[in-house]
A = this chain, B = another copy of it.
Amino acid sequence: MVSELGERRIIEILLESLDVMPSMTVPFGDDASAVDLGRERLAVIKTDMLVGKTDVPPGMSLRQAARKAVVMNISDLAAKGAKPVALLSSLALPRGFKEDEVREIGLGLNDGAREYEAYIMGGDTNEASDLIISCSVLGFCDKALFVKRSGAKPGDIVAVTGSFGKTASGLKILVEKLLVPIETRDPLIQAVLMPKARLKEGLALAQSGAVTSSIDSSDGLAWSLYELSKASNVGFLIEDIPIPWEVERFAENHNLDPVELGLYGGEEYELVVTVRPDLWNAARKAVGKFGTQLNKIGRVMEDREILLETEKGTIPMKVKGWEHFKT
């Protein structure tokens, strides 16, 4: 049963069934797929489905959920350096849904698209027991600028936009109904309810030519590092994980490990990239233009293992991440 197989094995089974397009520009399993348009341009496509039961935490409005369904897709294009232009949205609605709820979904879809200068251009409506918002996005980029997961080289700098742990903390607050002081609570909750895709940053990083591999952190930082290391056939030494003060304080008050919150959360749409050391300043500047910090978290190593520096010394990083069917 799929509940025993887990999502990653299911994807393997599906991939075994598929013919591979000859001269496919991007291999299966990257953040997005690409079709060569000729003249050095790519059409970049991605689909990602939001399921009410598993992907909408308590406290998230329908408008926010629909917006998030769009943002999830935009984030994948951001990681590849592709500019989203058009989105399609397939909905499944439970029978009991009301007119206002349908409108909320329409508004949320539009919010998500317009925030990133894209448009919802079509869709499809169906009936099902679960609420399902399945979006797909079409974007474009220069062939030379598309950033795969597979280009990291030993010696490259491992870097991330922003910081980690807010989403995992916010989700815990919402799910476990924790009482938290308002000045900590607000930013943590907002990270869950109104996630942002790092589109401008991703486009600028691709443009800078400094980035050798890239992924978004939607399955958690640890899992993203694992995927990058697998695709690039390298390892990482992770020296430092940027944890914001709200997460530090929340962890302290609730006897949690802030690094665990940073590594093993999910749906935190930061970019995890590797950067050529000689172009590190160019990469930092590219992201800094938008008021976003590009934080160095480690180094690319030859051996395919992920090591984490801690107060107790350097240890192998536990690899786990959000996986459907396994929870």
Q: Is the CB of B46 within 8 A of A122?
A: yes
A280 nearest CB across to chain B (Å)? 31
Q: Which of A28-42 contact B (CB under 8 A)?
A: 28, 32-33, 35, 37
Q: Tell yes or no: A92 within 8 A of B by CB.
A: yes
Q: Is the CB of A124 within 8 A of B47?
A: yes
Say which one of A100-108, A194-202, A262-270 lies at the interface with B. Answer: A100-108
Q: Is the CB of B103 within 8 A of A138?
A: no
B residues within 8 A CB of A125?
7, 10-11, 14, 324
> CA–CA, A10 to B130, complex, Å?
17
Q: Tell yes or no: A121 within 8 A of B by CB.
A: yes
B residues within 8 A CB of A99?
2, 5, 13
Tell me the dominant secondary structure on chain A's binding face: mixed
B residues within 8 A CB of A126?
49, 51, 54-55, 324
A102 nearest CB across to chain B (Å)? 5
Given A13-B106, A35-B85, A93-B2: A20 and B124 interface contact (C-beta under 8 Å): no
> CA–CA, A148 to B139, complex, Å?
23
Q: Which residues of A contact B (CB under 8 A)?
A: 1-3, 5, 7, 10-11, 13-21, 24, 28, 32-33, 35, 37, 43, 45-49, 51, 53-55, 85-86, 88-99, 102-103, 105-107, 109-110, 113-114, 119-130, 132, 134, 136, 138, 324-325
> CA–CA, A325 to B96, complex, Å?
10
Given A95-B1, A126-B51: A43 and B46 interface contact (C-beta under 8 Å): no
Query: Which of B19, B21, B32, B110 lies in contact with A18, CB distance below 8 A?
Result: B110
